[in-house]
Amino acid sequence: MVASEPAIALTGVSKLYGGRPVLDSVDLAIAPGSFVALVGSSGSGKTTLLKTINRLVEPEAGHVAVEGSDVRGLPPAALRRRIGYVLQAIGLFPHLTIAENIWIVPRLTGAPGAERDARVAELLRMVALPGDVGRRYPASLSGGQAQRVGFARALAARPAIVLMDEPFGALDPVTRDELGRAYRALHDQLGLTSVMVTHDMTEALLLADRILVLDGGRIVADARPAEIARGHSDARVRALVEVSTRQAARLADLVAGR
Amino acid sequence: MGEALAELPALVRAHLGLSVAAVAIAVVAGLPLALWAVRARRLRGPLLAAIGLVQTIPALALLALFYPLLLALGRVTALPIPALGFWPALIALALYALLPIVRNGVAAIEGVDRGAIEAADAVGMTRAQRLRLVELPLGAPVILAGIRTATIWTIGAATLATTVGQPCLGNLIFSGLQTENWVRVLVGCAAAAVLALGADLLLGAIEAGIAQRSRWRLWGGSGLLAVGLIFALLPGPSRPAVVVGAKNFSEQYILASVIRQKLEEAEFHTDQRDDLGSAVAYRALAAGEIDVYVDYTGTLWANVLGRRDNPPPARMRAMLAAALAQRDGVHLFGPLGFENAYALAMRRDRAAALGIRTLDDLAHAAPHLRLASDLEFLSRPEWRAVAAAYGLRFADQRSYSPTFMYRAIVDGSADVLSAFSSDGRIAALDLVTLADPRGALPNYDAVLLLSPKAARDPKLVAALRPLVGSIPIDRMRAANLLVDRDRDKKSPAEAARWLVGR
């Protein structure tokens, strides 16, 4: 098999906040079509890493390339319109209807307005929302519905790459499981490259096909979920995984009546 | 009442036009300032402090400050900058309206939900797009609340514009206050209040319309507001007019009205600038912002020429006429026939009881007596002259606005007052003016003054010529009394008709 060009490549990326490194010379290549989870505790640098990809954060050193080209060669706004982005805060614009919210990136790129209604309807179907939601305002939606709209907005301009910053963080457990699986299905169906930041190892293990564990601005583990789950050489990684496996074992015992 | 109501539409228009223009300027200047303050955090403190400082200056003082400022600017730049009327009022009110607009502007942008800002950046909006598509629409209710506050303040403060010669609802209030015509005061206040409440209501509806996304309220409010604006800003019956000036007391209102009646008989269009201060009135005439007004020889002698000496009346008038013509091109047209001089007066019964007939007699009794003066008198050279000539020392000296000065002598809280010899209240209140055997008080012949331009108009000069020497002191006193008395008050215009129509 021919090694294809990485969708996202970081070389020696460092970022300082107040003299303290939050990213310490990170090297990383993400293959097209992969679903990568960035896991770590608060302050590990996972969100900063995600934001260097679409220039929401500018690193002090190193290079970031998206689909082969250095991101510094592109105006930040143009770069971000090419990449889907989902926020923990959801961040729907409260003064715009759902349809206007979903259509915001095509509007910014000057897509013909005539295509709007059909595309919005298609996206609402993709995220399993009824078509009449488009006319409503964000305030009338539940948290889960709003984040479905958040996903639809991220996908509206048909990006190849989607970045997610704790996308399920604000949702209740049932909704986050449902929405996580729904997005994983879209990822496969649309052939996306997805990068998701989460502090929840279980979520990462169940959704991603590659897990990066960050600590102190460095990647301390980079492996498939099964390898991570079976036990890793790094104690910090094992500690993160153990919480999930111990809970799973206890649940399995409960179910089996032991 | 009827007369005040007849003046109302023109004054409401002028008032609204001025207020709207001032708020519009404040919005156009204030919103960019607010955006700048949001971006440049270090400048925000000093900027808001400077704007707040403007707010601490009393509105009346701020208005007054722009007169000399614009005058000096006009002199330095040699441009025809109007120092009186619309422009100084506009600038002062716009500055005044700035604070709530800038402060709310900053709060509006800063108050926008962080999630929406983060999302705006993440979906690839440029800074300008973020401002236009997210920050301004979401901050609009708060920005509008600032504009609303500014509008209400401005409509209130605009009543003060009459003091720099800009017609507004303040004309009714100030002239009503001077002539104790409370109906005029009430009509002026009520109209200003209705305008402010109306503007508040409409802007409130628009604000709520935006906040609740109710198109009905938004468009309803905007529509009615637009109708009001069109009413205010449509050019009124515009035509070249002779502008008659008046200072801020009854006699001046009456004489301005007399002059207008004479001019209109000669088919001139006329306009009036009320409530001008002494120094402002003369400089406005010299600058051609007003065309004609009545001043008094002693005032011009001391204030305009800065002279301290006291020549006999005819000589003073001749020297004045020559000096004003030569220096400013102002034409001293001629005396009206009466004098409005400073005199010291007492109640007749009190003067008789104390045996006081002259200022010499007064000097002996003064250490036990209280003096009530108008606001200017004690700082004027006349007072220094008369006090020095007779060695006057009173037990107590207080300054009042003219109306309340007379109240003080009637109710016995003062014994002596600085009266004006043409004041109708001298006869009405049974006061006596004290003789001035040493000739210390200068004379104050009422004289018509014409601006350089008006003096070159033979038709205008001819129309006003009959006024010269036509108003004897007893007629002027009677006309003043018609306006100043408590019962059956006449308006200045009615008194003027009585004065010329005998």
Alpha-carbon gap, residue B82 to A157, rounded angstroms: 58
What's this model's pTM, rounded to 2 decimal places? 0.71
Interval B440-453 mean pLDDT:
89
Q: Average pLDDT, stretch A119-125?
A: 95
pLDDT at residue B104, as a whole number: 93
* Among A161-170, B202-211, B225-234, B470-479, the least confident range: B225-234
User: From CA B63, how far away is CA B69, in angstroms rounded?
Assistant: 10
In Å, how far is A128's CA from the nearest CA of chain B? 22
- For B123, the closest of A89, A108, A137 (CB atoms) is A108
Region B471-495: mean pLDDT is 87
pLDDT classification of B450: cutoffs 50, 70, 90:
very high
What is the helix (H) or strand (E) element at residue A144, kind and residue range?
helix A143-155
Q: What is the pLDDT of residue B48?
A: 87
Q: Do B116 and A94 touch (CB under 8 A)?
A: yes
- Point out the residue among A76, A78, A87 whose CB comes nearest to the CB of B119: A87
B138: chain A residues, CB-CB within 8 Å: 93-95
Neighbouring CB atoms inside 10 A of A231's CB total 11
Q: Token pair 């200022």 is at which residue?
A: B359
- Determine the residue of chain B that is closest to A165 in CA distance: B122
Distance from CA of B151 to the nearest CA of A (A): 26
The whole-angstrom separation of Cα B492 and Cα B477 is: 13
Classify A136 in phi/psi space as left (phi over 0), alpha (psi -120 to 50) or beta: beta
Which has the minimum average pLDDT: A16-25, A40-49, A229-238?
A: A229-238
Residue of B391, B343, B344, B396 lying closest to B369 (CA atoms) = B396
Structural element, H or E, at residue B339: strand B331-339
- Contact between chains at A81 and B124 (C-beta distance less than 8 A): yes
Q: What is the pLDDT of residue B150?
A: 94
Residues 197-216 of B with CB under 8 A from A: 213
Sort out which chain B residues have CB atoms less than 8 A from A54's CB and list them. 122
Contacts of A95 in chain B (CB under 8 A): 137-138, 213
Identical fold at B242-340+443-500 and B342-433? yes
pLDDT reported for residue B278? 74
Decide if pLDDT at B1 tops 70: no
**Residue A137's closest chain B neighbor by CA?**
B213
The reported pLDDT for the residue numbered A229 is 86
Chain A interface, Cβ < 8 Å to B: 54, 56, 76-82, 85, 87, 89-95, 104-105, 108, 137, 153
Q: Which band of pLDDT confidence, cut at 50, 70 and 90, is reported for residue A241? A: confident
Chain-chain contact of B213 with A92 (C-beta, under 8 angstroms) = no
Q: Which residues in chain B are contacts of A78 at CB distance < 8 A?
A: 124
- CATH ID of A8-256, from 3.40.50.300, 3.30.70.360, 3.30.360.10, 2.60.40.1510: 3.40.50.300
Quick check: B126 contacting A, CB < 8 Å? yes
Task: Decide if pLDDT at A235 tops 90.
Answer: no
Of A84-98, A226-240, B26-40, B252-266, give the lowest mean pLDDT range: A226-240
Q: Does A94 sit within 8 Å of B124, measured CB to CB?
A: no
CA distance B218 to chain A (A): 14
Report the chain A residue with the minimal C-alpha distance to residue B136. A95
Q: Which residues of A51-62 are buried (b: 16+ CB within 10 A; e: fewer)?
A: bbbbbbbebeeb
CATH number of B2-233: 1.10.3720.10
A-B contacts at Cβ under 8 angstroms: 59
Asked if A105 and B123 come within 8 Å (Cβ–Cβ), the reply is yes
Please indicate whether, in this complex, the C-beta atoms of A87 and B122 are within 8 angstroms of each other. Answer: yes
Considering the domain B342-433 in this protein, what is its CATH number? 3.40.190.120
Residues of B in contact with A77 (CB under 8 A): 124-126, 129
- Please give the pLDDT value at position B275: 80
- Whether residue B137 lies within 8 A of chain A, CB to CB, comes out as yes
Query: Nearest residue on chain A to B141, judged by CA atoms?
Result: A95
For chain B, give the percent of residues with pLDDT over 70.
Answer: 98
Interchain proximity A95–B137, CB inside 8 Å: yes
**pLDDT surpasses 70 at B502:** no
Q: Which of B121-135, B294-308, B412-426 has the highest mean pLDDT?
A: B121-135
Closest partner residue to A93 (CB to CB) among B116, B124, B126 is B116
Tell whether the model's pLDDT for residue A222 goes beyond 80: yes
For chain B, give the mean pLDDT: 87
Residue in B closest to A157 by C-alpha: B123
- Closest among B289, B243, B281 to B80, alpha carbons compared: B289
Looking at residue B230, its pLDDT comes to: 79
Cα–Cα distance for residue pair B139/B117, rounded to 1 Å: 12
Decide if B124 and A105 are in contact by the 8 Å CB cutoff: yes
Q: Where are the domains of chain B?
A: 2-233, 242-340+443-500, 342-433
Residue B13 tokens, joined: 């228009």
Range of lowest pLDDT (A59-68, B176-185, B252-261): B176-185
CA dist B152 and B59 (Å) reads: 14
Residues in chain A: 258
A3 — pLDDT class (breaks 50, 70, 90) = low
Strand order of the β-sheet with B331-339 is B270-276, B242-247, B292-296, B445-450, B331-339
3-state secondary structure of B181: coil
- B195 Cβ under 8 Å from any chain A Cβ: no
- Which residues in chain B have Cβ-Cβ distances shorter than 8 Å to A159? none
Angle, alpha carbons B339-B344-B347 (nearest 5°): 110
Helix (H, G, I), strand (E, B) or coil at B157: helix
ipTM at complex level: 0.90
Residue B78 DSSP one-character state:
-
Question: pLDDT tens, B390-441?
Answer: 999 999 988 888 778 888 888 888 999 988 888 888 888 889 889 888 888 8
> For B341-357, how does the pLDDT look when each residue is reduced to its tens digit (9 = 90+)?
888 999 999 999 999 99
The answer, yes or no, to whether residue B62 has pLDDT greater than 50, is yes
- CA–CA separation, A219 vs B277, rounded Å? 80
Contact between B124 and A79 using a beta-carbon 8 Å cutoff: yes
Please give the Cα distance from B445 to B317 (Å, whole number). 8
Per the CB < 8 Å rule, is B138 touching A85?
no
pLDDT of residue B238 exceeding 70: no
Is the pLDDT at A2 greater than 60? The verdict is: no
Using the Cα atoms of residue A177, residue A178, residue A182 and residue A188 in order, give the sign of their dihedral.
positive
Q: Which of chain A's residues have a Cβ under 8 Å away from the Cβ of B139?
A: none
Predicted local distance difference test score (pLDDT) of residue A94: 93
Residue range B242-340+443-500 forms a domain whose CATH class is alpha beta
Using a CB-CB cut-off of 8 Å, the residues of chain B touching A85 are: 122-123
Nearest to B126 among A77, A85, A93 (CB): A77
